[in-house]
């Protein structure tokens, strides 16, 4: 039975803490993208991109969170977007120096920056590495010009290959983001993309099925995509190729060589905490008696004005109702191929496992959840029909 206080939990220990930083600008808005990103045109952004001003807003934003995390160590940083690699190396150095001066950052913390191949320059990447970036995630999507044009990308296949080569020279870890189920994509085209990616032997690969998200250009003007059977065949082919190349699928869309999993994303999927700063950033912070969600102003100009005038840009900061915690927890952990120990549920939600006992039973009976009582883990069928499995925990 849940507490009479709909937001009250009881945590005996706080989960690991990460930091997410959102950079909301990009050179061109892709037709499939539903992220909070704003296009820069000819170096002058319609919504007012000013690097120095935005970095100062990020620093001020972080300072507002310090009272909420006193004594806690930050284990990873992820700078996403948008296209964070549009920042100057000097700007990145200023930002990371300011973070180190304000938070207890783990000495060997994983610090990831997203980058698009079109914005990759040798000198700039060398500067990012010197500033402290040690992991880069490249938005390749495809190595084939025809597919890149259909996705509205600004780079071509050769630029994508060049970007990977440059990244591997400067960073300890490199991830390649690839998409499948693309317009007019065949098994052979999909195979070519995966084999090209595997030839670089990067430590990590992410593979996403193209979906038509609401409020995007593709949602209003949908391209011709492969059918479900064709997409399934492409996925099975990709999985086979990556497994034979030594990559293990550890999350629905993530594949890694041995011990090369993304620590930052694992923290999300294990229902860890994270500070979220920047325009539209979300955060999750736990306390002994509650777990809170935060949301910041979405538009970059509104975000910066709020920081400058009010001292913070929060538009939402509230405790998650205990009735919602089981679904939020399972929504994340069921994405992991190996799941988590059953004890993690109570450790991260502050609730007894009994509150979802019937849900667990239903999921097991449907063949979607592993019957091992020591694990909360989707079966192979559960991973394939993950939405159906997650929905069983909505009640």
**What structural domains and CATH numbers belong to the chain?**
17-267 (3.20.20.70), 322-395 (1.10.10.920)
> What pLDDT shows up at residue 32?
82
> What pLDDT shows up at residue 45?
43
> What pLDDT shows up at residue 49?
76
Supply the pTM of this predicted model.
Answer: 0.94
> What pLDDT shows up at residue 9?
87
Residues 96 and 132: beta-carbon distance below 8 Å: yes
> What pLDDT shows up at residue 28?
83
> What pLDDT shows up at residue 190?
96
Low-confidence ranges of the chain (pLDDT < 50): 1-3, 43-47
Residues 79 and 38: beta-carbon distance below 8 Å: no
* Size of the chain in residues: 395
In the block, residue with structure tokens 């041995």: 258
Residue 193 structure tokens: 């993309």
């Amino acid at each position: 039975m849940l507490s009479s206080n709909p937001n009250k939990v009881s945590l005996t220990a706080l989960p690991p803490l990460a930091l997410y930083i959102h950079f909301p600008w990009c050179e061109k808005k892709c037709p499939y993208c539903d992220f909070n990103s704003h296009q820069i045109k000819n170096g002058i952004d319609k919504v007012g991109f000013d690097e120095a001003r935005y970095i100062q807003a990020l620093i001020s934003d972080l300072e507002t969170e310090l009272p909420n995390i006193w004594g806690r160590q930050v284990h990873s940083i992820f700078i996403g977007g948008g296209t964070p690699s549009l920042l100057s190396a000097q700007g990145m150095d200023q930002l990371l120096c300011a973070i180190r001066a304000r938070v207890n950052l783990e000495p060997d913390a994983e610090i990831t920056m997203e980058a698009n191949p079109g914005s990759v320059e040798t000198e700039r990447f060398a500067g990012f590495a010197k500033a402290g970036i040690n992991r880069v995630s490249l938005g390749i999507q495809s190595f084939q010009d025809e597919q890149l044009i259909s996705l509205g990308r600004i780079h071509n296949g050769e630029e994508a290959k060049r970007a990977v080569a440059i990244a591997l020279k400067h960073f300890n870890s490199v991830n390649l983001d690839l998409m499948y189920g693309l317009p007019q994509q065949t098994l052979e085209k999909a195979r070519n993309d995966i084999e090209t990616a595997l030839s670089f032997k990067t430590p990590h690969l992410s593979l996403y099925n193209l979906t038509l998200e609401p409020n995007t250009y593709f949602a209003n003007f949908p391209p011709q995509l492969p059918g479900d059977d064709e997409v399934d065949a492409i996925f099975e082919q990709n999985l086979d190729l990556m497994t034979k190349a030594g990559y293990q699928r550890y999350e629905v869309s993530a594949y890694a060589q041995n011990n090369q999993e993304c620590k930052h994303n694992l923290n999300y999927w294990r229902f860890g905490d994270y500070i979220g700063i920047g325009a539209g950033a979300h955060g999750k912070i736990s306390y002994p008696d509650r777990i809170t969600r935060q949301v910041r102003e979405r538009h970059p100009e509104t975000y910066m004005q709020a920081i400058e005038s009010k001292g913070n840009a929060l538009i939402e900061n509230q405790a998650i109702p205990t009735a919602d915690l089981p679904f939020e927890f399972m929504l994340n952990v069921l994405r992991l191929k190996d799941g988590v120990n059953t004890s993690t549920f109570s450790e991260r939600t502050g609730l007894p496992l009994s509150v979802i006992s019937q849900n667990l039973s239903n999921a097991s009976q449907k063949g979607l959840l592993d019957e091992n009582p020591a694990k909360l883990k989707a079966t192979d069928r559960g991973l394939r029909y993950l939405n159906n499995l997650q929905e069983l925990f909505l009640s």
